[in-house]
Amino acid sequence: MRPDWPIELEIGPGRGGFLFERLAAVPQLCMLGFEIRRKWATIVDNKLKASGFGQRSRVFYEDARSALPRVPAASLARVYIHFPDPWWKKRHEKRLVVNPTLLPELVRVLVPGGELFVQTDVEDRAAEYEAAIDACPGLVAAAPAGPRLAENPFLARSPREHRAIKDGLPIHRLLYRKA
C-alpha cells in the first residue's frame, strides 16, 4: 500500500470484478475488500496478487460489521456497497449489512469529504437505505439535488451490476459524502 494514495473499501466484493476494474482504471489508488465468504475472499485475494495488483489491494475474509470497528478513523476515501443484502425474510434481518449500527462506523472511517456509494436493483431496498442514511448524522447527499445517481461514475462495475444491465433491470444508486 502506498501511504500517499487514497484507500477505498468495497464491502462484499463477491467475485471481485469491481476491484479489478477499478484498480485498472485508476492507477494511483489502493483498495480493500471485506468479504464474508471465505472461498471468494481467498480466491479474489490470490487473483489480485497474480494479476499484479497485490501491492495496492487486498481482500480479507471478514464480516464488515465486525471488521469496520478495527479500521482507523478517517482512513478511507470511499466505501462501496454494491447489491448487498439478498435476504428478504424478517428472520434474516440481522444479516443486513446496511444497518443503523454499521452506518456510524462508516462515517468514522471515512476521511472528511469521503464518499459512500450504494447500489441495488431492488427499489424497496434502495428506499430503505436512503431513509437510513438520511437519518445518519455525518452523511449528506453528494449533490444538492439529492443522493440518487442515474449512472455509476466510478469507471468500474460489480458483477451484479453487469448482470443487471444485461438483464435490463433498473439500478438504484445512492451517493453520499461525509460532511
Which residues are at the interface with ligand SAM (CB under 6 A)? 11-14, 34-37, 40, 63-65, 82-84, 86, 97, 158-161
CA dihedral 101, 134, 8, 96 (to 10 degrees): 40
Crossing angle of the two packed helices 17-25 and 38-50, in degrees rounded to 10? 30
Contact between 59 and 32 (Cβ < 8 Å): yes
Distance CA 47, CA 32 (A): 14
Closer CB to ligand SAM, residue 99 or residue 140? 99
Closer CB to ligand SAM, residue 58 or residue 65? 65
Q: How far is the CB of 37 from ligand SAM (least distance, A)?
A: 4
Distance CA 118, CA 147 (A): 10
First-last CA distance in the chain: 26
Distance CA 27, CA 21 (A): 11
Closer CB to ligand SAM, residue 37 or residue 47? 37
Q: How far is the CB of 3 from ligand SAM (least distance, A)?
A: 25
CB closest to ligand SAM, residue no:
12
Q: How far is the CB of 146 from ligand SAM (least distance, A)?
A: 23
Closer CB to ligand SAM, residue 51 or residue 140? 51
Check 85, 124, 134, 167 and give the catalytic one.
Answer: 85
Q: How far is the CB of 179 from ligand SAM (least distance, A)?
A: 25
Active-site annotation holds for 85: yes
Distance CA 162, CA 112 (A): 31
Distance CA 44, CA 18 (A): 11
Helix (H, G, I), strand (E, B) or coil at 119: strand
Active site residues: 85
